[in-house]
Amino acid sequence: MSLMKSWVASANSAAHPFPLNNLPYGVFSTADLEEPHCGVAIGDMILDVTAAEAAGLVDLGEEPLFDAPMWNPLMEEGPAVWTALRARLVALLEDGANERAKVELFLVPQADAEMHMPFQVSEYTDFYAGRHHATNVGTMFRGAENALPPNWLHIPIGYNGRASSVVVSGTDVQRPWGQLKGPNDAAPRWAPSARFDIELEMGAIVGMASDGPLSVQAADDAIFGYVLLNDWSARDIQAWEYQPLGPFQAKATATSISPWIVTKAALEPFRCDTPAREVELLDHLKDCGPMLYDIELEVGLTPEGGSESVIARTNYKEMYYSSAQQLAHHATSGCPMNVGDLLGSGTISGPEKGNRGSLLELSWGGKEPLELEDGATRSFVEDGDRLVLKGTAKGKGFSVGFGDCSGTLLPARSDPFARG
Amino acid sequence: MSLMKSWVASANSAAHPFPLNNLPYGVFSTADLEEPHCGVAIGDMILDVTAAEAAGLVDLGEEPLFDAPMWNPLMEEGPAVWTALRARLVALLEDGANERAKVELFLVPQADAEMHMPFQVSEYTDFYAGRHHATNVGTMFRGAENALPPNWLHIPIGYNGRASSVVVSGTDVQRPWGQLKGPNDAAPRWAPSARFDIELEMGAIVGMASDGPLSVQAADDAIFGYVLLNDWSARDIQAWEYQPLGPFQAKATATSISPWIVTKAALEPFRCDTPAREVELLDHLKDCGPMLYDIELEVGLTPEGGSESVIARTNYKEMYYSSAQQLAHHATSGCPMNVGDLLGSGTISGPEKGNRGSLLELSWGGKEPLELEDGATRSFVEDGDRLVLKGTAKGKGFSVGFGDCSGTLLPARSDPFARG
């Protein structure tokens, strides 16, 4: 596949994240709109799909699919309609399109738009399925010989997260308070988290509901698209709370996602295999085709008033389990899965130090503070830091991007329980 | 407080679960209704609140609150409207009510009704906050000296569950498949759970949204009401999967709740203190009044074609942490809480063997099978077993009940991944 040419000129650059090959789905507002609309990114513009549907340019059924500011209604329609919409968008936006004059009326510059949550998150699940990350964290906490838990090579380990905490890129995140107890403290105390971290992940969005076990192929079929995801994590809250039932408040402050859903269709050219396995998976979790994607990922950190340092570079193909395998495992017990369920991949670290997707790993638990380009150092996120995740799949002469997944850490509020 | 008399004669018995003192909220359907309606139990009848509102007998604001089959819209209105509805229902149903003749038109026999989910579950969280249960389970898994994890006396330990798996009483539950590995097995295998269990719990329903830390008093104020809750649990799936991030598929098959929400107002006379604490809680989690309830609980098990044995009797007041304390902890990190969030108390066991709220405890991990009244034995739930949870708060001359929380275990489906 090569660059698909569009009459929207800005979309025709090899480095642009939003060529006609991509067509990612978001929700945006402008000063002119009374409420947010569904939109598709094309070059530097957004096609207002809500308005285009109302004008009859997009017509996928009897009921409107884009009159609510979310992409869930399209997902509910199923893969045939997903395909039909993509085909229609290509026909409207490709070079030489007949209806160009009409379509131009519905283009909005991205520079004028504010982005909102692209879909309503039904439930949020986060996995722990990157081997380098699990090995790094396990080595820090349990020593190198016990780094991977015994089940890790057999199951994509996951836990239920908190859907209410998922926010769109650009939303500020406030440093949480929590119950903290260091290993040498006599008792826990109530204090702001001092080890607040990021986790570089991809999120898969479930587009088809189910209420019984799914094969890995059926699970892959049910995935609608992907976003970048930053699972903000309070390591000190986590260390004290997580045994025996897993992370809870450490992961409930916020989870940021990119504003654009990149569809599975757009990512097709970038499919790749999971890594070689030293232990064979049980049949129901076995790979049945390439279900990871070659997506280059990076994390930038900008201190307040400073300049950006890229602190990590890695790739989604470093995952040990694909999102399809995670969804298949998620459904094994008969767990009902719903349209809008969000599955975080788990932190994506690579084999080298510069590939680590969390500050916990990059600073090795704070023992080896990271040097930023302007001379500052970081063990964990500091107040005012802006974190930006980027993701790009690189084809021959074209790129497919997600838009930034950003968030700035605000200082903790004053003690909410202080007595006056 | 004594029995409040109603003109619905069946409500005026000291042992009836639904006197005028109770007025629990449910959603029901009958052969005559096109879709389910909101209803209030009174004696052996249900007041059809949806129809009563449509007829103008209940009028709490400009928009109808009961035209959708769920109680979430009432919750959204906040405590003043909760109180106003209860006052109006008492006025309509009390002995000597002026409008009796009109109200009678909207009474439906419970015997003719099928019950549905009383509210839409936003997110579901389950806690591990009963000391006897945590001690029993900890002793089995880690030995008596390490039974309680170090954080247990300081935090109401909880984990996020799966809202999509919550079902109303009467819904059959199918034995799940899962990945299992016993301590002496060389490798895991794919098989139906052989250690499927129940957990006797109460569920608290969040009625007011928040997006920052809550005091224990504010958390108590935000709770709308309570249900009985059975957190079905596959112990063998759990044993293999739960380290390091907690239970996942073991708890995702189903969680059953009672069909009636008993409001906080109805439970006021039964408030009681949490047990004495050997370790002082941090200020933000301290009790600020009696926030547990004296509710007698029991579990009945009926083998297919057999007779019922009551296998456990306990009381909600055995909990170490109240639901208000659990909600306060849940919000510490700034986790947004929403109307319709459901908080499971954790298994409620008492000090004696007959007070244990799970078969895991009752059969001590299967080592001491439980004898049923008809001579059969149980280590865990067997196919065809019907489990019924009951809860009753006993006042002077009246009772407040929840209706049964029941479910029958169906055999596992045939291997969903078997090749033909």
**Structure confidence by residue, pLDDT tens digits, A146-199:** 899 999 999 999 999 999 999 999 999 999 999 999 989 999 999 999 999 999
Q: Could you tell me if A57 lies within 8 Å of chain B, comparing CB atoms?
A: no
Q: Please determine, for residue B109, whether its predicted confidence score (pLDDT) is greater than 70.
A: yes
- Across the range B236-253, mean pLDDT stands at 96
DSSP 8-state class, residue B277: -
The model's pLDDT over A190-210, given as tens digits with 9 standing for 90+, comes to: 999 999 999 999 999 999 999
Residue A404 and residue A296: Cα distance in Å, rounded?
13
Query: Which of A179, A284, A336 minimises the CB distance to B417?
Result: A284
pLDDT for A142 equals 86
List of chain A residues whose C-beta atoms are within 8 Å of the C-beta of residue B178? 332-333
How much is the mean pLDDT over chain A? 97
Residue A112 is assigned to a ligand binding site: no
pLDDT for A235 equals 97
A413/chain B closest Cα distance in angstroms: 10
Tokens describing residue A25: 């789905």
The model's pLDDT over A362-420, given as tens digits with 9 standing for 90+, comes to: 999 999 999 999 899 999 999 999 999 999 999 999 999 999 999 999 999 999 998 75
Tell if the CB–CB gap between A332 and B159 is shorter than 8 Å: no
Residue B390 and residue B353: Cα distance in Å, rounded?
18
B418/chain A closest Cα distance in angstroms: 9
As annotated, the active-site residues of B are 133
Interface pTM, i.e. ipTM: 0.97
Tell if the CB–CB gap between B245 and A244 is shorter than 8 Å: no
pLDDT for A278 equals 87
- Please name the residue of chain A whose CA is at the shortest distance from the CA of residue B414: A213
B405/chain A closest Cα distance in angstroms: 20
pLDDT for B278 equals 87
For residue A405, how many other CB atoms are within 10 A of its CB?
A: 26
What are the φ and ψ backbone dihedral angles of A86, each rounded to 5 degrees? -60, -40
Q: Please determine, for residue B1, whether its predicted confidence score (pLDDT) is greater than 90.
A: no
- Across the range A99-118, mean pLDDT stands at 98
pLDDT for A420 equals 58
Tell if the CB–CB gap between B333 and A161 is shorter than 8 Å: no
DSSP 8-state class, residue A165: G
pLDDT for A419 equals 74
- Across the range A302-328, mean pLDDT stands at 98
Tell if the CB–CB gap between B177 and A282 is shorter than 8 Å: no
Q: Please determine, for residue A30, whether its predicted confidence score (pLDDT) is greater than 70.
A: yes
Please pick, among A37, A116, A133, A329, the residue that the annotation labels catalytic.
A133
Q: Half-sphere exposure of residue B298, counting CA atoms within 13 Å on the CB side?
A: 11
Name residue B173's beta-bridge partners: B409
B307/chain A closest Cα distance in angstroms: 29
Task: Indicate the pLDDT class of residue A141, thresholds 50, 70 and 90.
Answer: confident
Cα first-last separation, chain B: 65
List of chain A residues whose C-beta atoms are within 8 Å of the C-beta of residue B157? 241, 244-245, 248
Q: Please determine, for residue B420, whether its predicted confidence score (pLDDT) is greater than 80.
A: no
Tell if the CB–CB gap between B213 and A338 is shorter than 8 Å: no
Q: Where are the beta strands (DSSP E) in A269-364?
A: 271-272, 292-293, 296-302, 309-315, 342-344
Residue B195 and residue B183: Cα distance in Å, rounded?
14
pLDDT for A376 equals 96
Count each helix (H run) and each strand (E run) in chain A, helices first: 10, 27
Cα first-last separation, chain A: 65
pLDDT for A187 equals 96
pLDDT for B141 equals 84
Residue B255 is assigned to a ligand binding site: yes
Query: Which of A163, A164, A332 minimises the CB distance to B178?
Result: A332
Mutation target for A interface from B285, B330, B333, B417: give the one with most A CBs within 10 A.
B333
Percent of chain B with pLDDT over 70: 100
Give A 166-205 residues with CB within 8 A of chain B: 174, 176-179, 181, 187-190
Query: Which of B164, B176, B335 minimises the CB distance to A252?
Result: B335
Domains by residue range for chain A, with CATH? 9-116 (2.30.30.230), 124-410 (3.90.850.10)
What is the residue type of A414?
Answer: S
Tell if the CB–CB gap between B189 and A282 is shorter than 8 Å: yes
- Residue B206's SS3 state is strand
Q: Chain centroid to CA B389: how far?
A: 9
Tell if the CB–CB gap between A241 and B155 is shorter than 8 Å: yes
List of chain B residues whose C-beta atoms are within 8 Å of the C-beta of residue A178? 332-333
pLDDT for B343 equals 98
Q: Could you tell me if A411 lies within 8 Å of chain B, comparing CB atoms?
A: no
Residue B159 and residue B125: Cα distance in Å, rounded?
6
List of chain A residues whose C-beta atoms are within 8 Å of the C-beta of residue B335? 162, 164-165, 249, 252-253
